[in-house]
Amino acid sequence: MILDTLLWPTGSFWTSAGLGLGLVLVAYTAASTIVSWHRLRHIPGPPGVGFSKWWMLRKTLGGNMHLATKAACREYGPLVRLGPNQLVTNDPEVLRRIWAVRSPYKKGPFYEAVRFNPERDNLISLRNDTLHAELRAKMANGYGGKDNEGLEAVMDKEILVFVDLIERKYISTATEYRPVDLARKVQYLTLDVITALAFSKRFGYTEQDEDMYSYIKITEDSMPVMMFLSIFPWLAKVLQSRVFRRLLPSEHDHVGFGRFIAVAKQIVGERLASDQPKRRDMLGSFLAHGLTREEAEGETLLQIIAGSDTTATALRTTLLYLMSSPATYRRLTREIRSAAAAGRISHAVATDAEARELPYLQAVIKEGMRINPPVAGTMDVVVPEGGDMICGYPVPAGTEIGCSEFGVQSLASVFGPDADVFRPERWLEAEADAQGGSEQGIERLRQMNLTWGLIFKAGKWQCLGKEVALIELNKVFVELLRRFDFTLVNASKPWHSINAGIFIQSGLYTKITRAEPL
């Protein structure tokens, strides 16, 4: 009776109608949950993932999605279900096929969350393939370095400013201890390098030795929001709507990302107003190839993000693993210092070509990026009309499928049984086998190379900055390790690293001393 009166207090028409509607909604939600669970029920995955995005949300907000997908692929196989409509794979062949230039796969809704500037798309957030290909073609020359005169000379200058910073402030001696958070400092360097290359004007992070405009801090602080949006992309659309836009970065901000939007606008404006709009840097190349003012502003901004965090992560991780692998550290420093002593590398800053002649350095750089790929978001794409057959499972159209980059780069079938270990020698061994001329050896090295390449994605979405990044890594490692020695301060807690697609890393405390003579 009591329940009855609670449920039907007055028996009025509106109450019943409201309840009826509620029941219909509940039934509808239940039915659609079951339907979406049913669609991909044949694909294995952690318990409960077919019903909600809870698993994805938990792992993403914990900053560990990259490790969770790696573990899931090891437990359930090369194709794993992660959500009602989400799959992930660590199969290099599948990834190369679905990312290929002529692949009918399209970028998933996740990309709504990487618009950075709410007012317009950039090359990464652009989901329309036709428009993406057009824009990409106009930018390829600028990134390829063909239009970027003296790319190496520009980098050399920034690297010497960085070396000078260490010399001035962070050399420890027998009497003085000057620990430094290298995680932060190398990002100053990569920010200066990319801005110098992009528009011939470094931001000056290294000279100032501080986080100007609080860019790094604010980017780090806003990451949890970005991570949340990457799981619920429709929220990104809501945030980018006129009503909520005030909450997002804007060019009127004095700090953080908004400040960069304003700087990008100002620099493009100045360039267009000057009598030499075709200066030979990346921006000059973009404008020469027909990017509009708005496009140029957006892409300048994208470069700073795409080019600085990623390269910084590659530097940090490799330095960390070097410092914690004494044999590797010794072998690499010996290679670099004896090449310098023998005059095989330039006196001021090594050229890219000289660094490429150092086989162990090349192996270390590859291994450092393999052990911690700098971009480890799942980068979901959507299965095209007609569906697809993936790893032996039929997958219906509209399903989102992402990449477990940590899963890919730790495949024992490609990199050997100790794939989880940082061991640059594996590359030299594979190269020696291939040079021995055995078919098997050549094929194995080819698979290692191709799989490693996926760190930069591939095909129509391959990183445009790959060559620039590799040149930078080559130079920086030679210049740091020929001059200095690095010792990890807190071996039990070497750094703080969380993944938000890209990595947020800090607290890599290091004691830097002058290099011991050979």
Ligand X SMILES: *[C@@H]1O[C@H](CO)[C@@H](O)[C@H](O)[C@H]1NC(C)=O
Please identify, using beta-carbon distances, which residue of 128 and 292 lies nearer to ligand X.
128
Binding ligand HEM (rule: CB under 6 A), the pick from 43, 291, 319, 455 is 455
For the bound state, the minimum distance from the C-beta of residue 211 to ligand HEM, rounded and expressed in Å, comes to 20
Please identify, using beta-carbon distances, which residue of 46 and 459 lies nearer to ligand HEM.
459
Contact region for ligand HEM (CB under 6 A) — 62-70, 244-252, 424-432, 455-463? 455-463
Please identify, using beta-carbon distances, which residue of 314 and 319 lies nearer to ligand HEM.
314
CA 89 to chain centre: 18
For the bound state, the minimum distance from the C-beta of residue 322 to ligand X, rounded and expressed in Å, comes to 18
The binder of 310, among ligand X, ligand HEM, none, by C-beta within 5 to 8 A per type, is ligand HEM
For the bound state, the minimum distance from the C-beta of residue 423 to ligand X, rounded and expressed in Å, comes to 17
At residue 512, φ and ψ (nearest 5 deg) are -105, 130
Residues 6+ apart with CB under 8 A from 469: 307, 310, 311, 314, 463
**In the window 53-72, what residues touch ligand HEM (CB under 6 A)?**
none
At residue 400, φ and ψ (nearest 5 deg) are -95, 130
For the bound state, the minimum distance from the C-beta of residue 14 to ligand HEM, rounded and expressed in Å, comes to 50
For the bound state, the minimum distance from the C-beta of residue 250 to ligand HEM, rounded and expressed in Å, comes to 23
Binding ligand HEM (rule: CB under 6 A), the pick from 463, 471, 476, 500 is 463
Binding mask 178-207 for ligand HEM (x = CB under 6 A): ----------------x-------------
Binding mask 270-309 for ligand HEM (x = CB under 6 A): --------------------------------xx--xx--
| CA-based nearest residue to 118, from 222, 11, 42 | 222
Helices (H), 200-255: 205-208, 215-231, 233-240
**In the window 348-377, what residues touch ligand HEM (CB under 6 A)?**
374-375
Q: How many CB atoms lie within 10 A of CB 263?
A: 20
Q: Exposure of 468 by Cβ count < 10 A (0-12 exposed, 13-18 middle, 19+ buried)?
A: buried
Residues making contact with ligand X (CB under 6 A): 128, 130-131, 179, 434, 442, 445-446, 449, 489-490, 493, 507, 509
Please identify, using beta-carbon distances, which residue of 90 and 337 lies nearer to ligand HEM.
90
425/429 Cα distance (integer angstroms)? 6
371/373 Cα distance (integer angstroms)? 6
For the bound state, the minimum distance from the C-beta of residue 316 to ligand HEM, rounded and expressed in Å, comes to 11
- Does position 50 bind ligand HEM by CB under 6 A? no
Dihedral over Cα of 103, 109, 112, 114: its sign:
negative
The binder of 455, among ligand X, ligand HEM, none, by C-beta within 5 to 8 A per type, is ligand HEM
Helices (H), 324-372: 326-341, 352-356, 359-371
**In the window 305-334, what residues touch ligand HEM (CB under 6 A)?**
306-307, 310-311, 314
347/44 Cα distance (integer angstroms)? 57
Binding ligand HEM (rule: CB under 6 A), the pick from 191, 196, 468, 500 is 468
Binding mask 109-128 for ligand HEM (x = CB under 6 A): --------------xx----
For the bound state, the minimum distance from the C-beta of residue 57 to ligand X, rounded and expressed in Å, comes to 28
Strand order in the sheet with 180-181: 180-181, 509-514, 484-488
| CA-based nearest residue to 204, from 216, 193, 220 | 193
- Checking 335-342 for CB contacts under 8 A at 24+ apart, the result is 335/359, 335/360, 335/361, 336/361, 336/477, 336/478, 336/481, 336/482, 337/481, 337/482, 337/515, 337/518, 338/518, 340/482, 341/518
Q: Which residue number is nearest to ligand HEM in terms of Cβ? A: 465
For the bound state, the minimum distance from the C-beta of residue 106 to ligand X, rounded and expressed in Å, comes to 7
- Does position 159 bind ligand HEM by CB under 6 A? no
**In the window 81-100, what residues touch ligand HEM (CB under 6 A)?**
none
281/314 Cα distance (integer angstroms)? 24
The binder of 44, among ligand X, ligand HEM, none, by C-beta within 5 to 8 A per type, is none
Residue type, 337: R
- Specify the DSSP element, H or E, that contains 401: strand 400-403
261/422 Cα distance (integer angstroms)? 38
Please identify, using beta-carbon distances, which residue of 445 and 464 lies nearer to ligand HEM.
464
For the bound state, the minimum distance from the C-beta of residue 51 to ligand HEM, rounded and expressed in Å, comes to 27
For the bound state, the minimum distance from the C-beta of residue 371 to ligand HEM, rounded and expressed in Å, comes to 13
Structure-token pair, residue 367:
């291994």
For the bound state, the minimum distance from the C-beta of residue 157 to ligand X, rounded and expressed in Å, comes to 27
Asked if 259 contacts 93 with a C-beta cutoff of 8 angstroms, the reply is: no
What is the DSSP secondary-structure string of 367-397? Answer: HHHHHS-S--S---EEPPTT-EEETTEEE-T
Dihedral over Cα of 181, 182, 183, 189: its sign:
positive
Please identify, using beta-carbon distances, which residue of 185 and 366 lies nearer to ligand HEM.
366
Q: Which residues bind ligand HEM (CB under 6 A)?
A: 123-124, 136, 194, 302-303, 306-307, 310-311, 314, 374-375, 379, 455-457, 461, 463-465, 468-469
